[in-house]
Chains A and B, each alone.
Chain A
């Protein structure tokens, strides 16, 4: 069992083992070749790494959209793919190619998490459905465990599908996933939700419970909090300032892994790139991941001093002490390597965070959060457009201005649209339409809810310490994510959400407050709370929730569940319309 999944009262590793068994059971006996949808390699490797697949007679692996599978030695070919029409086209091309070469193969398709009518139709239209009919399976892995307190459905497009495509399937998947959590971990005691999508998930979950019945276990999840991403659109687009959040923003973390040029490190296993796994099995990363980046340097220096002191202490030791030192040596070497890696990463990040473009942009962002200059055409944004910086950065700033001003004046919005279209292209009319539909950009109405929320929930905290924080606002230096403030009020403040009923009324969508769900026996040791984000959550929000648990006295074990881990770049990019993708 992976060490980073263990340790919590909710045994997240059980999900991992359950999903792994389901996948392996789908592999029949005999040598086989897997042809991968690249988008699945990351999530599936969390459950079934290559060594495990090799043990189950997977001889070779190929990519679905590149190259040929003719050199596959085994007769049995398994296509592991998401239900995307373009993947079906790739499968069809492979099958036809093998037929033309007179290679006799047995095909199997495993859809993750499920097949769709569109995909089956596409296979039929491409004339290969008969080759795979009877060998189509579904691996309905609802949640991929990332940490002992984080599980993700790995559906990065859930928000887009819900708001732009108006496809409610992710609601159904979320409810099914939560029902699986209940089956594995035990009954859910009570549920609170905020937002339309969250309420839908809850309603479906109730229906599923009616059909399946309540689990037999007596202990489980004391409180499930379901939050719709739409209630807080600022947190995904604001710049994250925790160490892990910045790594995700600037480098991109894919299923707990990052890839960097190996020349930055001394020992690259591959001349081109080095893959680094980031999870809590590494003690140093576990210590610094949730810190504000400005505190990371000190933390690394302290650790370096400690290691140096331990090495120095070997001089003048007795034989027994030397023996103990030698026994500790492998561990110390590991820490030393880890220190080297994270020092290098921190230096790379610092190079960017110390630059004028980054600092200037962050300053404007924080001005917007403080309500400064939010209601006019901002010259910095104009200059950014004129300098043709990455459109994602420009759109994020405009979204932040719109959200913190509770909408933009029509002429301001029209001006930005016009400028973006001129510099980046007319196809971005469609991108801007999507952002409007998602609520990230909108025309100002008479009410200014954000101003009220900022005050009543203390979303902006000035003069908070970044190195020794006393408030969760350190994750964005001045801004406490609205979602995490809601959780703080619900779990830790007297009166829960009832005390902030007026505030909740100004948020979009309905509210459900601590509605009893199943009978459950609460243990005295600690309560288990699962916070589920419908539409994704950021690393900064996860850090804020962990901070909350550490700060407060009442013992609560918190697990974050989400449709996907998002950051400002991929969140905005997924909402854009790219013509050549069709």
Chain B
């Protein structure tokens, strides 16, 4: 199990105490214990105290036992009430409150905390960026507030990226975004594409699309920004085909600058215009439009299909399937092209054996199936299929 959130409050309290401690420590006020008077006579007080020099059992004249008693008294204060009551080995109940500073020196509060809760004391120390990242990887709660300087923040972000943990990277990035100016934050993200991507994913999944668009633009990610805008234009499918066409047109002219992308978008806009003309909704595909158009007005459809870039083969396939499904077998042959190369006989772009399979699937009349079987050029295939369908 990881450290509990209540540690935070303890940490903050220790910090508060620590600020007071550093002030009071300069005044060099020591706690005297009656039992330790002899100690004071023998040992000169130190001017500068290193925490590392302190012996836990005999800290500046205060023994473990006396500090234990003191701890009990300190526990009675409201401001210390969040210290772990399990640490109370002496089991004494709390006493009425007196002001903290009149009872004990703040300097010794920290000593007591160090005696009773060494883990809390460790948290007070300045932690390097590397250690912060390690703590985060282990799932321990940490405060990134100690990383105040730009250099520290840069090191922190680098450490997060090196860890390859998306969660750690995101926590660091969110911290940077809240503590740095936009200019500095975006500059840092620009230097760390992995972190930028993690943040972009976060904005995308949490539907913060305007922020995402701004981020992509500031990072110079024109293509990604363009794709995002196109995605957003498509997302709003309740807007109606005409409105969506406008959205996509504006995205196309403002964001897409490659010829290939531009062509696709122009075709999409054209399709939406055609759909709008038929009163169809905005998520209609090209083949759905064609089927609807064939059902209403077959004349000049092929030109319209060509204007949205539909190939001859796809046009034929969609038309054939529509005519077969609607039982309009007369129109099938009208989709074939005549060519002087084939002696002005109608020639299908679609392989005839596949047309025959489609007819069979739709349970077309036998004579219709055999009509196209007889057009198959390969004699062996033609004979086999004739035998198969003639017996139906």
Contacts and interface: CB of A to CB of B under 8 A. Distances in A.
B134 A117 contact: no
B264 A429 contact: yes
A382 interface: yes
A290 B206 CA distance: 44
B201 interface: yes
Contacts of A114: 139, 167
A85 B205 contact: yes
Interface in A82-127: 85, 114, 116-118, 121-122
Interface string A570-582: 0000000101001
Interface stretch (A3-11, A40-48, A296-304, A419-427): A419-427
Contacts of A421: 264, 267-268, 286
Nearest to A211: B134
Interface string A420-441: 0111111101100100000000
B171 A429 contact: no
Interface string B202-237: 100111000000000000000000010011001101
Interface stretch (B106-114, B312-320, B373-381): B312-320
A166 B221 CA distance: 14
B197 A423 contact: no
Contacts of A419: 311, 314
B354 A118 contact: no
Interface in A169-206: 169, 171-172, 175, 200, 204
A423 B350 contact: no
Interface in B55-86: none
A137 B201 CA distance: 24
B21 interface: no
Nearest to B197: A166
A414 interface: yes
A387 interface: yes
A168 B227 contact: no
A535 to B, nearest CB: 15
Contact of A117 (B174, B227, B286, B311): B174
Nearest to A357: B357
Interface string A320-347: 0000000000000000000000000000
B227 A433 contact: yes
Nearest to B311: A419
B283 interface: yes
Interface stretch (B40-48, B88-96, B158-166, B335-343): B158-166
Interface string A55-90: 000000000000000000000000000000100000
B295 to A, nearest CB: 17
A166 B230 CA distance: 20
A118 B285 contact: no
A419 B318 CA distance: 12
Nearest to A387: B317
Contacts of A165: 197, 201
B310 interface: yes
B287 A422 contact: yes
A265 interface: no
B197 A422 contact: no
A121 B206 contact: yes
B317 A383 contact: yes
Residue among A356, A382, A386, A421 with most chain B CB within 10 A: A386
Contact of A171 (B164, B267, B316): B164
Interface in A496-514: none
Given A165-B201, A426-B234, A172 B285 contact: no
B157 interface: no
Size class of B's contact patch? 35 or more
Contacts of A388: 287, 321
A116 B165 CA distance: 11
Interface in A392-433: 414-415, 417-419, 421-427, 429-430, 433
Contacts of B206: 85, 118, 121-122
Nearest to A582: B235
Given A383-B317, A415-B311, A172 B230 contact: no
A310 interface: no
A169 B139 contact: no
Contacts of A204: 163-164
A379 B193 CA distance: 41
Interface in A348-399: 356, 379, 382-383, 385-388
A165 B354 CA distance: 41
A134 B234 CA distance: 41
B286 A167 contact: no
A379 B194 CA distance: 41
Interface residues of A, number: 48
Given A386-B350, A429-B264, A172 B166 contact: yes
A422 B174 contact: no
Contacts of A415: 311
Contact of B164 (A169, A418, A424): A169
A165 B234 CA distance: 20
B166 A383 contact: no
A200 B317 CA distance: 48
A138 interface: yes
Nearest to A174: B164
Interface in B236-264: 237, 260, 264
Contacts of B194: 166, 168
A217 interface: no
B343 to A, nearest CB: 23
B287 A423 contact: yes
A133 interface: yes
Contact of A118 (B164, B205, B260): B205
B285 A579 contact: no
Nearest to A432: B264
Given A423-B285, A425-B285, A430-B227, A383 B354 contact: yes
Contacts of B234: 426-427, 579
A127 B310 CA distance: 51
A512 B44 CA distance: 63
Interface string A435-468: 0000000000000000000000000000000000
A54 B311 CA distance: 61
A62 B267 CA distance: 47
B314 A422 contact: yes
Residue among A121, A414, A426 with most chain B CB within 10 A: A426
B285 A167 contact: no
A137 B1 CA distance: 8
Nearest to A419: B314
B177 to A, nearest CB: 12
Given A200-B164, A582-B235, A167 B271 contact: no
B235 A117 contact: no
Contact of A422 (B163, B171, B205, B285): B285
A423 B193 CA distance: 36
A109 B272 CA distance: 46
A125 B57 CA distance: 49
Contacts of B165: 168-169, 172
Interface string A135-171: 0011000000000000000000000000001111101
B31 to A, nearest CB: 37
B179 to A, nearest CB: 16
A423 B286 contact: yes
Interface string B148-164: 00000000000000011
Contacts of B346: none
Nearest to B207: A582
B316 A386 contact: yes
A421 B206 CA distance: 28
Given A382-B313, A422-B309, A433-B227, A167 B166 contact: yes
A419 B309 CA distance: 9
A11 to B, nearest CB: 27
6 contacts: A168-B164, A383-B313, A386-B316, A418-B264, A423-B286, A577-B231
- 4 smallest CB-CB distances across A and B, nearest first, come from A386-B317, A169-B166, A422-B286, A166-B197
Given A166-B198, A172-B164, A388-B287, 5 more contacts: A85-B206, A168-B166, A168-B169, A414-B260, A423-B285
